[in-house]
Amino acid sequence: MPKNAFYAQSGGVTSVINASACGVIETARQHPDQIGKVYAGRNGIIGALEEDLIDTSQESAEAIAALRHTPSGAFGSCRYKLKGLEENKAEYERLIEVFKAHDIGYFFYNGGGDSQDTSHKVSQIGDALGYHVTCIGVPKTVDNDLPITDNCPGFGSVAKYVAVSIREAAFDVASMAKTSTKIFVLEVMGRHAGWIAAAGGLAREQEGDAPHIILFPEVTFNKEQFLAKVDETVNKFGYCCIVVSEGVKDETGKFLADAGTRDAFGHAQLGGCAPVVANMCKDALGHKYHWAVADYLQRAARHIASKTDVDQAYAMGKAAVEFAIQGKNAVMPTVVRTSNNPYTWEIGHADLADVANVEKKMPAEYITEDGFGITEACREYLQPLIAGEDYPPYKNGLPDYVVLNNVAVPKKLATEFKVK
């Protein structure tokens, strides 16, 4: 009998992570001789630890296909990082107990850097605890900061949203700048890597176009230089539009938006960079301002997803299953760019050991010398990733997204395990 598969979503969700889920489930269904059922973990790895599994075989082919155009995590996600085997052996023993009980021999974990660390740790339990699981990571992160892969599913659609949003907001500001708002600040995600902020630069195609200033985590914030650039821009164009990454730091290394709290992974909980920057402009220059935080809107905007991103997200899920049935283990499928113009790509793979907990930041050659914009090399890299439209179906004027039944798999274990 073929072994069953476990699939789960982890970390911050995206507008296309469900397209990867679709790729995994549809491809697994095409190989019933090698993979039995696909069980999804409810709320990520927590679903495995608590034996809270979802039987995806109870969903119709039409419902699974609709995942391709539905945002967010259809099975629930989590921010939960497994500790090392020696630090918390009980968690790994529990995983094996659940996997054995449900005859699970394949593990597909869909997430970013911390999630791929989990994938890597799970891939090691076979040798350490004597139960083999074929473990494949499925890449996902809006931050675009996974190493080795050319880009990350989830990023292209956020990039498209940010570029469109700053362009549209700039038209609004420009029309009112004579007597009203002169400063507009859009805050985007990106704790340590400025890829999303950089994407805003795609909206600037000629001199005077917004964004006039981009603030990157990779560039130390200098208040005097920033305010001088704002003043120069307002004097020249009548207004100034700014894209700022949430992770911008000052010369002391402190986040401009550090709220003093920590998230589940121990990362600083950032409290809002846009109002900090906007108030600087008001206090120093006296200009009226508006600011906005893209927040969840940027990663949930499936209605404006990049076709390139949707296609690659699906392909990563499909490749993960194909790798597993080919006998590969402890790897993650990657996007390999083969040409910029025309843009072409193919599927490669990376060892999970080389991916886990490694952040890919913006290279210096992608940021202009003054630190406030993107170079042509960066534009050449980014442009194909936002290309193409892949609109969801609409009903009553709204996107028609699917909500799965998420039928629970009957529990087989007598003991319960609660994640704290």
List the catalytic residues: 143
- Tokens representing 400 are 């028609």
Q: What angle do helix axes 17-29 and 307-325 make, rounded to 10 degrees? A: 40
Neighbours of 84 (CB within 10 A): 11
**CA-based R_g, the chain, Å:** 22
Spatial neighbors of 163 by CB under 8 A, at least 6 apart, are 199, 200, 201, 202, 203, 386
Residue-by-residue DSSP string for 132-197: --EEEEEE--TT---SSSSS-TTHHHHHHHHHHHHHHHHHHHHHHTTTS--EEEEEE--SS--HHH
What sign has the CA pseudo-torsion 117, 199, 170, 239? positive
341: exposed, middle or buried (Cβ count in 10 Å: 0-12, 13-18, 19+): exposed
Looking at residue 112, its amino acid is: G
Torsion 74-27-111-13 (CA) sign: negative
Q: CB 166: neighbour CB atoms within 10 A?
A: 28
H or E element at residue 270 = strand 268-270
